[in-house]
Amino acid sequence: MAFVDKDLDELVEYVPSRTEPDDFAAFWADTLASARSHPIDAVFEPVESPLNTVVVEDVTFRGYGGQPIKGWLLYPASASGPLPTIVEYIGYGGGRGLHFERLLWASAGYAHFIMDTRGQGASWSVGDTPDDFADGNGPAYPGVMTRGILAPETYYYRRLYTDAVRAVEAARTHPYADGSRIVVHGGSQGGGLSLAVAGLVNDLAGVLTDVPFLQHFRRATEITDGYPYKEIANFCKVHRDKVEQVFRTLSYFDGLNFAARATAPALYSVALMDDICPPSTVYASYNHYAGPKDITVYTYNGHEGGQAHHTPRAFSFAAEVTK
């Protein structure tokens, strides 16, 4: 694989114009107010597990439309009080997985809340939450990128972004989660969800976003043939008369518009050979990010990014913002 985008010296200066609807803030305020009209009803049920050093709890809470959303909560068995908390979102196609697949953060002394992803969890990681809303129906290319895409009110990511905000609210109800020390975290789609939450929740301790997806939609669809962005291009290829309608919807969900509102310290990562989430889309988000920020560059990597090599950097960041 070779470099797929602008040179690094161009990327660090890349600040494209944002396309933000006039009612962007009102749309999200109304969306979250509607979700909050349903009690969070967060339930944490102990899970029988052979793990001796980590407690595992099966989570159910109410997300968009009051629909039950699944998750996991893990924390050290030795914990005696509220802990700094990582709320993690999963990459495209995946779900919350099995409870013993993500032990790193709990082993490091954090409470770790892992949100399931509605309507996903069949591509590479197990999911347990359906997407049961008829208002998301309509023509769509396989996958979820174009589900309900002809209006912001019906678009799939309206539901998922709302679930992600509610996951933070659910985590804050647990006695072992310190609500003042929450870091949202994820890679790819999970990184995009972290940035959306950072723009919608104003009291986070930090944001860990790796090779984030859902940023700078228009450019992404124009410079990569990689999926999932290609789902949008394929939809527009067939629905030639609806291209501007599609991108109007996407303007309510573009990470650039959330990044411009985010104030929590953030650590991004970017891979310069990433043909799934092209580096210019990541830098567009990073350069618009309003809060304190840093970015780690993996020059010769694709969408896998830094993987385990990035973990020490993430640990250091989380420790600093939650101390």
**3 state SS of 111:** strand
Nearest of 56, 40, 60, 38 to residue 48 by alpha carbon = 56
**3 state SS of 210:** strand
Nearest of 299, 302, 295 to residue 274 by alpha carbon = 302
**3 state SS of 268:** strand
- Quick one: 232 exposed, middle or buried, by C-beta within 10 A (0-12, 13-18, 19+)? buried
Contacts of 189 (CB under 8 A, 6+ apart): 89, 90, 91, 92, 117, 213, 214, 228
End-to-end CA gap in the chain? 40
Angle between helices 24-36 and 156-171 (to 10 degrees): 60
DSSP 64: G
Which residues are marked as active site? 188, 274, 303
CB-based contacts of 17-22 (< 8 A; 24+ apart in sequence): 18/254, 18/256, 18/257, 18/260, 18/288, 19/218, 19/247, 19/251, 19/254, 20/251, 20/257, 20/260, 21/152, 21/248, 21/251, 21/252
- Quick one: 38 exposed, middle or buried, by C-beta within 10 A (0-12, 13-18, 19+)? middle
Angle between helices 229-238 and 243-251 (to 10 degrees): 150
